[in-house]
Structure 1
């Protein structure tokens, strides 16, 4: 990489990425073909929008311009999760071709979700880096209660465990105050913004530094890390065909379980989840938390990346064995089936991107030779050593898998949604066109009354909004009942199982009970409401579209073959990731033994257990019945409301054109121009129809 390889990679990223050796930029581009294919599809759609815009009047062009801006803002989002030390951050650095951007040794006490926005312009061009701090409520929950683990220990009466948590919290609090001094409280809930990205910023906000020593000067490393909740970095990658957001999350197995909720929220905000495992301990018992988190996400939206195969002496032989073990573990623990599993090495990828393969340690080089020999569809003779190492690293395979999921998931949804809106705008243009031709031929009566159209639209909106609201209320009511029944049955079965254990084996042998049954019941209930909500939405959206099509047919005398209003798309329903939240029964460790030994008598066991598990599981149940169900309703209703706003604007525009004077009409359009426009519209609508289907 010449002199550039000796430079700080952050400077290369921000100031002069194009100065990177072209051969090494070619390394990074391998695997991006699928993303380029989707980018070409997106470009073709944008061309169709532009063709429609040429045929439109000034007011309609504004609507299309807004649609074009929405398409330019399409940004597929990927959340990367995994255990601490699985190599997540090194992998994220490799994914963006920046080996040293993020610190790969973030201390377990930092709880920072770092979102890398690639080729995504921020509304504020002066904000290339943004860091948000915990607010007072979040911080108080941590320092006063010990986070989730502290709440759990307190409920269970696990005094020893609670004291350990409190001691760690006190240490963290004292260290934070020593770093930040009097301004500590003022920073909570704030956000810091910068117009640049460099290593110093990352070190100050993301990477925890050494403890300050009294009387000695310290650097700024880790200055704000204790209270930083999230980081957003905006970087340019000319070789990346699409804007992309990659979220690097902290490990989920932390002391206070703060990361767990943060990671749950990150997964909920992304359509694609990458689970990073270590080849040495792929899906060990410590990874059950990961399985719980991803078990409620669609298998097709999960990519499992097994990292660090560079540390295997014989990956060609060991990888198939590890793959079989992962598949069996997922199956045994009710994890997602058929998720794609990719094996690779962030170490190989970063060495290839740096152009420093000759510095690779010997054992890793042997593993690279061993693994690269197994790669299919790779022409070894035509690849440079860096390109071969990049292919072996799994990064190209990851991007190919990612491209498929974007094309069939979030990307496809964005295009289809926009295409239907564009089709409806084109429908309005076609109606205007036909009304104009009718007026020019002096055929038919195009003198329409505005109040007739307004009243008709209002009645249709009221009818289908009411219908949708009723269907959703019924579905949500049934869902709430089903969830409460499932929750109650689980508590009763678990308590009965506990009593049976006590009667048969006594209190000397510690009893265990899996909460998997509850999660399965709740997931099944959520799948039912998701399906019912989708059906309710589709029914209302289709009915509204058909009713509006009838307005065009009867009130505007539009009789063109295939003339229809396209219904809105049902919004994406987020998976119930909160079902993966850790609860007491998942932690069969020291605190559970302590709880068990403090009980006296079967009745005390049963009553205390019921209260403990009810309190532990209530937040999950209430989250499903509350925020999750409310979001389903809000999104479905908002989609219908947005549809009518757009349709009302289109119809009013048609109405306005139909009521202008004959002279103004001829001057505005002209018969010949209208006939030509009609032909062009047919061609453009055929183009859009392919994207809207």
Structure 2
């Protein structure tokens, strides 16, 4: 069987009991959002009555896009903070993901909950590292290897190489001759079961006595990501929860994987342990979340079940977290929720008497501080669920989804629906004029196509010309900030050497560079949005003129609404570890190997320039290219939709009079006008409300 084909179709799926009603606590905002989607779907069904089969296809496509909306939430956090146990509780399946995995594991697991998928699509898919990614790790030692090599830290580099050699030998022992063939491949499965998770996500060491396909962790070394598709009764809509492997590991592979996951999500949940809260070891976490909008960061402090006195300790921990964030330029006033994944999973189990005694005492202690009078109406399982913090977490997530990506998705869909109605109405007006015997002058199909080709080319050029200016200005600011940082750091180093000599190791934070680059990025983001709005509005105006010139129709309430500029992703790459962040043994070794001020100066400048250049290039080149591509795609899609509507009107103008009268009778036309007015008013009102929000 080929790698890409569905495998193990006969395996039994992991079963789970019906989820309790209390899992719906906190999801009210998502319920309301789903109701709004249903209302829009009903309005689109009315649009179908007005436009016939062609409009039905367009309406169906728009409804399909609405139903496929899947906001993603990325979970990041400290290792051993109980992040995976929390994810299991969120989906109501305590044993779904293995919570106690070997620290080697670097798999991003995406749980697609209630996502609409094709009947023959896999429910579990595992992607392996590519040959290039594996070579980078094995040959260079990943980011730590690169950094150590640049710094001349031979001892550190040798440690890294030794660890990687051990990993490589174990991997080859597991996979044998298949190893090279597996890289870059994907394994798909029709059914999800516990054995799959053990095989692809959990590490294991004892392979000699096991059958080949039963080996735990057989593919874990080379598995990069897992996509699992599950139905969850409690959720009223699709959601994707991404469980990341953390940010601290020997080769910084996890850090890069987590950065990529954050870039693809609008909402981030940072999971901390109540025992650790935020310590100096978590600067990597703070750096990452500092580059995400504060509103889109939720901090969940887990494992309060292990505190001796949570009622009094929780306020102290909260104060400590907020102070640490303030001291280290973290997000301002993020929402902080305290809870226990352990309690949540206990609440989901049939019996509560298995809870350990210390945890039970902590539960009673926390109940006195956290429960209100309304708790008297709750059953025991629901009480434990409430104390676990899960309803508060889902309430925070629901609010951010509904008010953020959800509101944007609805606004964009309403604008598309409004444009669809405007197009159908223009078509209707032209048909009415013909039925009433008026002479209608219509642009030929060839002339219309040529005109739309030019309109698209002109507006794409207009967009790219404006974006060229935005990105050139951004690139200049970034280069200036980079050079300014290097010059200041070098000056600080030389001052240190002059005042304190070579014996005392110098420290310098790269946070100044991050702040400068973040400010430049924010300016670029605003300028991209302004450029897109201007060009999209101009394209909409050009299309309005096209309707009038192509069909000679002047329609009441006729307007073409420009699309919403695409969301510019946060610059999470700025959270990447830079050599100056690491005051470790190799840094001391680098320092001790320098001889003379000149050697310090040139060695430092080359090292930090090489370290920071990839971050600068990522922002200037790759992210800028992605932003441009998204902006272009939004414009192309908008123009393609309008082209289809205009060509549809053109085709109706070619129907002979008899066919036209059969399909669109005069009485029917009058009824359609009334429905047009109702739909236009409905969509305009809701689109305005969405924009105000």
Task: Give the shorter-chain TM-score range.
Answer: over 0.9
How far off its partner does 1:144 sit?
A: 1.3
Partner-residue secondary structure (3-state), 2:370: coil
Relative to 1, partners in 2 of residues 1:617 and 1:211: Cα closer, same or farther, differing over 3 Å?
A: farther
How far off its partner does 1:358 sit?
A: 1.3
Unaligned runs of 5+ in 1: 1-10
Q: 1:121, 1:234 within 8 Å by CA — same for their partners in 2?
A: no
1 CA distance for matches of 2:341 and 2:115? 24
Relative to 1, partners in 2 of residues 1:133 and 1:447: Cα closer, same or farther, differing over 3 Å?
A: closer
Partner-residue secondary structure (3-state), 1:520: helix
Q: Which one of the candidate residues 509, 514, 524 is aligned to 1:514?
A: 509
Aligned to 1:189: 184
How far off its partner does 1:604 sit?
A: 0.3
Aligned to 1:251: 246
2 CA distance for matches of 1:682 and 1:646? 22
Partner-residue secondary structure (3-state), 1:85: coil
Aligned to 1:400: 395
Partner-residue secondary structure (3-state), 1:508: coil
Aligned to 1:531: 526
Q: Which one of the candidate residues 79, 82, 90 is aligned to 1:87?
A: 82
Moved more, 312-321 or 584-593: 312-321
Q: Which one of the candidate residues 88, 97, 112 is aligned to 1:117?
A: 112
Moved more, 370-379 or 185-194: 370-379
1:229 aligns with 2:231: no
1 CA distance for matches of 2:102 and 2:553? 67
How far off its partner does 1:212 sit?
A: 4.0
Q: 2:76, 2:244 within 8 Å by CA — same for their partners in 1?
A: yes
Partner-residue secondary structure (3-state), 1:379: helix
Aligned to 2:94: 99
1 CA distance for matches of 2:158 and 2:195? 36
Relative to 1, partners in 2 of residues 1:558 and 1:378: Cα closer, same or farther, differing over 3 Å?
A: farther
Q: Which one of the candidate residues 591, 599, 624 is aligned to 1:629?
A: 624
Q: 2:138, 2:168 within 8 Å by CA — same for their partners in 1?
A: yes
Q: 2:536, 2:563 within 8 Å by CA — same for their partners in 1?
A: yes
How far off its partner does 1:602 sit?
A: 0.3
Q: 1:283, 1:326 within 8 Å by CA — same for their partners in 2?
A: yes
1:476 aligns with 2:492: no
1 CA distance for matches of 2:371 and 2:650? 62
How far off its partner does 1:664 sit?
A: 2.5
Relative to 1, partners in 2 of residues 1:290 and 1:124: Cα closer, same or farther, differing over 3 Å?
A: farther
Q: 2:272, 2:301 within 8 Å by CA — same for their partners in 1?
A: yes
Partner-residue secondary structure (3-state), 1:517: helix
1 CA distance for matches of 2:392 and 2:374? 15
Q: 1:275, 1:304 within 8 Å by CA — same for their partners in 2?
A: yes
Superposed, 1:487-566 pairs within 5 Å as 487-566=482-561
How far off its partner does 1:339 sit?
A: 1.6
Partner-residue secondary structure (3-state), 1:357: coil
Superposed, 1:268-667 pairs within 5 Å as 268-375=263-370, 379-443=374-438, 445-667=440-662
Q: TM-score, normalised by structure 1?
A: 0.95
Deviations 1:250-296 (A, max 9, x none): 01111110011111100111111111011111111111101111111
How far off its partner does 1:378 sit?
A: 5.8
Partner-residue secondary structure (3-state), 1:246: strand
Q: 1:448, 1:658 within 8 Å by CA — same for their partners in 2?
A: no
Aligned to 2:132: 137
Aligned to 2:4: none
Aligned to 1:199: 194
Q: 2:310, 2:365 within 8 Å by CA — same for their partners in 1?
A: yes
Partner-residue secondary structure (3-state), 1:61: helix
Deviations 1:548-584 (A, max 9, x none): 1233345434434431001011011111111111110
Partner-residue secondary structure (3-state), 2:269: strand
Relative to 1, partners in 2 of residues 1:685 and 1:365: Cα closer, same or farther, differing over 3 Å?
A: same
Moved more, 533-542 or 640-649: 640-649
Q: Which one of the candidate residues 168, 172, 177 is aligned to 1:177?
A: 172
Moved more, 121-130 or 593-602: 121-130
1 CA distance for matches of 2:595 and 2:15? 70
Relative to 1, partners in 2 of residues 1:664 and 1:325: Cα closer, same or farther, differing over 3 Å?
A: same
Partner-residue secondary structure (3-state), 1:566: coil
1 CA distance for matches of 2:477 and 2:14? 56
Aligned to 1:3: none
Relative to 1, partners in 2 of residues 1:178 and 1:542: Cα closer, same or farther, differing over 3 Å?
A: same
Q: 1:28, 1:353 within 8 Å by CA — same for their partners in 2?
A: no
Relative to 1, partners in 2 of residues 1:15 and 1:138: Cα closer, same or farther, differing over 3 Å?
A: closer
2 CA distance for matches of 1:243 and 1:55? 30
Q: 1:38, 1:403 within 8 Å by CA — same for their partners in 2?
A: no
Deviations 1:388-408 (A, max 9, x none): 110111111111111111111
Q: 2:302, 2:339 within 8 Å by CA — same for their partners in 1?
A: yes
RMSD of Structure 2 on Structure 1 (CA):
1.9
Relative to 1, partners in 2 of residues 1:177 and 1:453: Cα closer, same or farther, differing over 3 Å?
A: closer
1 CA distance for matches of 2:80 and 2:334? 22
Deviations 1:58-111 (A, max 9, x none): 111111111111112111111100111011100000100111111111111111
Deviations 1:589-635 (A, max 9, x none): 11110100000000000000000000000110000111100011111
Q: Which one of the candidate residues 158, 161, 183 is aligned to 2:156?
A: 161
Moved more, 200-209 or 313-322: 313-322
Relative to 1, partners in 2 of residues 1:447 and 1:197: Cα closer, same or farther, differing over 3 Å?
A: closer
2 CA distance for matches of 1:160 and 1:378? 62
Q: 1:87, 1:104 within 8 Å by CA — same for their partners in 2?
A: yes
Aligned to 2:679: 684
2 CA distance for matches of 1:377 and 1:665? 67
Q: 2:442, 2:551 within 8 Å by CA — same for their partners in 1?
A: no
2 CA distance for matches of 1:374 and 1:498? 51
Partner-residue secondary structure (3-state), 1:374: helix
Deviations 1:634-678 (A, max 9, x none): 111121111111111111111222343333221220111011111
Q: TM-score, normalised by structure 2?
A: 0.95
Aligned to 2:5: none
Q: 2:26, 2:398 within 8 Å by CA — same for their partners in 1?
A: no
How far off its partner does 1:543 sit?
A: 1.1
1 CA distance for matches of 2:211 and 2:115? 39
How far off its partner does 1:429 sit?
A: 0.8
1 CA distance for matches of 2:528 and 2:215? 51
Superposed, 1:50-89 pairs within 5 Å as 50-89=45-84
1 CA distance for matches of 2:320 and 2:439? 74
Partner-residue secondary structure (3-state), 1:57: helix
Unaligned runs of 5+ in 2: 1-9, 689-693
